[in-house]
């Protein structure tokens, strides 16, 4: 229980805090240098990847004590007063960030860019008290089916809801290469038509 890091994240109370799954203990270890007791390990770097939701209406992503980025309602939903909503709960899957609000809304964002992929306004209609991603274990993958992620939300209404994030469509690499080749050929043909004798 030795304190590793302390910093001021919010003005007032912190509603929820989530630690990225790749840094569950907040430290990455390197073997073989400067033995740490009997383990033969030493800290390589203390990289805390933390998401916090506070009563100051902000949700922040931190790397150690440095603010990486933050969410604010009035910036993401123009036209809504900045004190209309407050982030209540958060959970970081490493890839996605799950959020629940005091009004019962649920959202899923991309963790590194905070681009919103999923949003249900007042999914519960009352305070969301916790959110959690379905783990990527075998039973979790079976529950996911063809979806990219699944988030459970729990609220004061005594209900638990499952939110499924549809798999985002992406182009196969062969199709992308084919499109690039077609674009190059079309450009050369257009240049030949515009400037006879170009080739």
pLDDT score, position 73: 66
- Contact yes or no for 27/49 (Cβ under 8 A): no
Residue 124 pLDDT class (50, 70, 90 cuts): very high
79 pLDDT above the threshold of 90:
no
Q: What percent of the chain has pLDDT over 90?
A: 15
Q: Average pLDDT in the 50-57 region? A: 86
pLDDT score, position 107: 92
pLDDT greater at residue 70 or residue 42: 70
- Contact yes or no for 126/156 (Cβ under 8 A): yes
pLDDT greater at residue 22 or residue 110: 110
Q: Average pLDDT in the 137-154 region? A: 81
Q: What 8-state DSSP symbol labels residue 106?
A: E
* Cα dihedral: 20, 21, 25, 28 (round 10): -90
- Contact yes or no for 94/111 (Cβ under 8 A): yes
* Gap between the Cα atoms of 27 and 24, Å rounded: 8
Query: Please, is 152 exposed, middle or buried when counting C-beta atoms within 10 Å of its C-beta (0-12, 13-18, 19+)?
Result: middle
pLDDT score, position 181: 92
Q: Average pLDDT in the 72-101 region? A: 74
Q: Average pLDDT in the 139-162 region? A: 85
Q: Which of 98, 103, 149, 156 is nearest to 125 (CA)?
A: 103
In the β-sheet with 96-101, what is the strand arrangement from edge to edge? 87-92, 96-101, 106-110, 116-120
Cut 0.85: pTM above it: no
Residue 123 pLDDT class (50, 70, 90 cuts): very high
């Amino acid at each position: 229980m030795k304190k590793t890091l302390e910093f001021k994240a919010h003005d007032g109370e912190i509603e929820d805090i989530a630690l990225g799954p790749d840094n569950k203990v907040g430290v990455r270890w390197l073997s073989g240098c400067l033995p740490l007791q009997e383990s033969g390990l030493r800290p390589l770097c203390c990289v805390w990847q933390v998401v916090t939701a506070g009563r100051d209406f902000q949700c922040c992503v931190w790397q150690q004590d440095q603010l990486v980025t933050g969410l604010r309602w009035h910036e993401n939903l123009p036209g809504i007063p900045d004190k209309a909503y407050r982030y209540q709960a958060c959970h970081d899957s490493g890839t996605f960030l799950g959020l629940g609000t005091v009004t019962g809304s649920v959202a899923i964002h991309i963790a590194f860019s905070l681009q919103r992929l999923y949003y249900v306004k007042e999914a519960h209609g009352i305070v969301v008290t916790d959110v959690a991603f379905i783990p990527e274990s075998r039973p979790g993958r079976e529950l996911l089916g063809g979806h990219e992620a699944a988030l459970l939300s729990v609220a004061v209404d005594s209900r638990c809801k499952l939110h499924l994030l549809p798999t985002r469509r992406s182009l196969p690499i062969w199709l992308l290469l084919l499109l690039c080749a077609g674009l190059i050929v079309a450009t050369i043909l257009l240049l030949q038509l515009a400037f006879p004798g170009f080739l």
